[in-house]
Amino acid sequence: MAHRMTTSAGAPVPDNQNSLSAGPRGPLLMQDYQLIEKLAHQNRERIPERVVHAKGWGAFGTLTITNDISRYTRARIFGEVGKKTSLLLRFSTVAGEMGAADAERDVRGFAIKFYTEEGNWDLVGNNTPVFFVRDPLKFPDFIHTQKRHPRTNLRSPTAMWDFWSLSPESLHQVTILFSDRGLPVSPRFMNGYGSHTYSLWNHDGERFWVKFHFKTRQGHTFLTNGEAAEVIGHSRESYQEDLFGSIEKGAFPQWTVQVQIMPEADAEKTPYNPFDLTKVWPHGDYPPIDVGVLELNRNADNYFAEIEQAAFSPSNVVPGIGHSPDKMLQARIFSYADAHRYRLGTHYEALPVNAPKCPFHHYHKDGAMRFFRNDTGNPDAYYEPNSFDGPVEDPSVQEPPLRISGDATRYDHREGNDDYSQPRALFNLFDDDQKQRLFSNIAAAMDGVPDFIVQRQLGHFAKVHPDYAAGVARALGVTMRSDPAA
Ligand code: NDP
Ligand code: HEM
């Protein structure tokens, strides 16, 4: 039998169809607290959408460890073969708002929250191993070029290509974005990457640099621009339908989890900066090692509570896993928790989807919506240090010290940096059909962009490979100037 309906204060509701009125034709009475509560709640049903990655799709699942890497890390999640850890994975596009169509060309977010025995570990990655910029000072400007133009309120290809053509470090990511991998059929058919270099550290205090990879077991499938237009014509929600629907049917998508491991001292020796987010570590130098299998097997019961209110942050690491000097990562350690406090409120970590599944004891106190117990074991132990058996620090989980060097200044990250070799290695991987689609996708995205910007970008493509520039110029129907970078 259905439950008896109540107000939010628990009082039974006698009539949910007719407001309280003076006479059958109204007006309404101020004392209709039921109506007032209902309208007031509705007015508060929306929270700010994420400033980026607003449109998303998520599900719960499990990581199962298949290979022992405990010599590299003391993290319990990697503790033994067969170990299972529950997780939440949210996929997203970057630029579109919450109502945007799913099948739009864009980088996809691949954000995972692992509920480990020693706290939540969030790996907030993308479906690409690199990013458009390598210095966080450039991130808000880059995002402005992806969002709407202040006057037209439209997306601006001119802004995008102006920024990219003035920022050659973006070439690697731009090439991926306009390749087949820039428009997967659904999140099931794409890889995820931690993208940044992180660190692992073991019980002996040794540190290793690490990259995380999540290889789709469903295979890579993609949409051409034309196919995507058709999909969007039928449904703006093709990703939600595919992901939710397949999990609902019991067809659980899986990813093989791999790591690339670099001994700490190697970071001094690589010809590229291993902490540069616009670069990969070539597989030939640091072969991927299988670690486990990630499976998504449960849909959320309430999208808003469990997916919209999910708060991922690169600051969430656990003993055995750490950060790296990557400047972008360093900035993200600050940015996400700050965004959550604005979007969800001070105690966002206490929301059920974000709360750790292991015991947790901290001394953070009051603030809006303080609804949880702060279980320090003793009401007198509400500060630290104290003499009343309150929770205490544990030096055994101290990360090993990191040696750093150099003068503090603003180093030019473009100086001596090769922005062309790795995009070239990627371009050379593409077969002829893939190259043709790359050219036509770029040409389509450059529609309406002023010639001087197009020419500047062609100059960068030419430095990657002459065929790259020639192919895009042909697709655009333009002639490349002899010195386009000038
Ligand atoms: P490898 O030949 O060993 O690796 C190439 C990797 O490129 C593949 O393993 C695959 O990554 C990815 N790849 C293959 N086809 C495509 C495609 N059509 N579109 C996008 N990615 C594709 O060479 P390197 O490791 O030296 O890398 C060469 C280039 O490959 C890099 O410059 C980079 O652009 C790209 N790449 C490299 C990755 C890395 O971590 N080294 C990861 C992804 C891309 P995956 O197995 O992850 O699907
Ligand atoms: C979301 C900032 C770079 C992946 C966000 C959000 C902010 C942000 C503020 C919204 C958070 C929220 O409201 O919940 C930044 C900054 C960056 C940066 C300042 C660079 C300095 C990156 C990079 C990646 C990435 C390099 C991937 C490798 C994501 C993902 C989300 C996200 C996946 C959505 C998380 C979710 O599903 O909730 N970013 N970002 N970001 N970012 Fe970044």
Give the DSSP per-residue string, 130-164: S-S-SSGGGHHHHHHHHSB-TTT-SB-HHHHHHHH
**Could you tell which of 335, 340, 413 is best to mutate to test the pocket of ligand 2, judged by most ligand atoms within 8 Å of the CB?**
335
pLDDT tens per residue, range 121-142 = 999 999 999 999 999 999 999 9
| Stated pTM of the model | 0.97
Q: Is the pLDDT of residue 484 over 70?
A: no
Q: H/E element holding 120?
A: strand 119-126
Cβ atoms of 35 and 15 within 8 Å: the answer is no
* Cα distances (angstroms) measured from residue 113 to each of 31, 85, 122: 45, 10, 4
Which two structure tokens, joined as six digits, stand for 453? 């910007």
pLDDT class of 379 with cuts at 50, 70, 90? confident
Measured in residues, the chain has a length of 486
Q: Is the pLDDT of residue 374 over 80?
A: no
> Which pLDDT score, from 0 to 100, does residue 304 have?
98
In single-letter form, the type of residue at position 458 comes to: L
The atom number, within ligand 2, closest to the CA of 56 reads 37
Q: Per-residue DSSP letters for 422-477?
A: HHHHHHHHS-HHHHHHHHHHHHHHTTT--HHHHHHHHHHHHHH-HHHHHHHHHHHT
Distance 129 CA to ligand 1 centre (A): 9
Average pLDDT of the residues in 216-229: 98
Q: Rounded to whole angstroms, how far apart are CA atoms 375 and 391?
A: 9
Distance 426 CA to ligand 1 centre (A): 7
Q: Rounded to whole angstroms, how far apart are CA atoms 159 and 170?
A: 14
The atom number, within ligand 1, closest to the CA of 281 reads 41
Q: Rounded to whole angstroms, how far apart are CA atoms 377 and 380?
A: 9
- List b or e across 151-166, with b for residues whose CB sees 16 or more CB atoms inside 10 angstroms: eeeeebbebbbbbbbe
Q: Where are the beta strands (DSSP E) in 142-232?
A: 192-193, 198-201, 207-216
Ligand 1: residue whose CA is nearest its atom 45:
215
Distance 333 CA to ligand 2 centre (A): 10
Q: Which residues form the catalytic set?
A: 53, 126
Q: Which residues 6+ apart lie within 8 Å of 350 measured at CB? A: 371, 372
Distance 295 CA to ligand 1 centre (A): 23
Residue where the block lists tokens 């062609």: 458
Distance 328 CA to ligand 2 centre (A): 11
Give residue ranges with CB within 6 A of ligand 2: 50-53, 56, 90, 92, 109, 111, 124-126, 131, 136, 139, 195, 277, 310-312, 328, 331-332, 335-336, 339-340, 343
pLDDT class of 365 with cuts at 50, 70, 90? confident
> Which pLDDT score, from 0 to 100, does residue 373 have?
80
Which two structure tokens, joined as six digits, stand for 274? 């291993």
DSSP β-bridge partners for residue 90 = 58, 111
**Could you tell which of 213, 429, 464 is best to mutate to test the pocket of ligand 1, judged by most ligand atoms within 8 Å of the CB?**
429
pLDDT class of 483 with cuts at 50, 70, 90? low
Ligand 1: residue whose CA is nearest its atom 43:
129
Percent of the chain scored above 90 by pLDDT?
A: 95
Average pLDDT of the residues in 111-124: 98
Q: Rounded to whole angstroms, how far apart are CA atoms 182 and 106?
A: 6
> Which pLDDT score, from 0 to 100, does residue 172 have?
98
Closest CA to 57 of 315, 312, 238: 238
DSSP β-bridge partners for residue 294 = 63, 255
pLDDT tens per residue, range 344-354 = 999 999 999 99
Average pLDDT of the residues in 68-87: 97
Which two structure tokens, joined as six digits, stand for 222? 């993609």
Cβ atoms of 49 and 97 within 8 Å: the answer is yes
- List b or e across 182-211, with b for residues whose CB sees 16 or more CB atoms inside 10 angstroms: bbbbbbbbbbbbbbbbbbbbbeeeebbbbb
Q: What is the DSSP letter of 200?
A: E
Q: Is the pLDDT of residue 333 over 80?
A: yes
> Which pLDDT score, from 0 to 100, does residue 486 have?
46
Q: Is the pLDDT of residue 485 over 60?
A: no
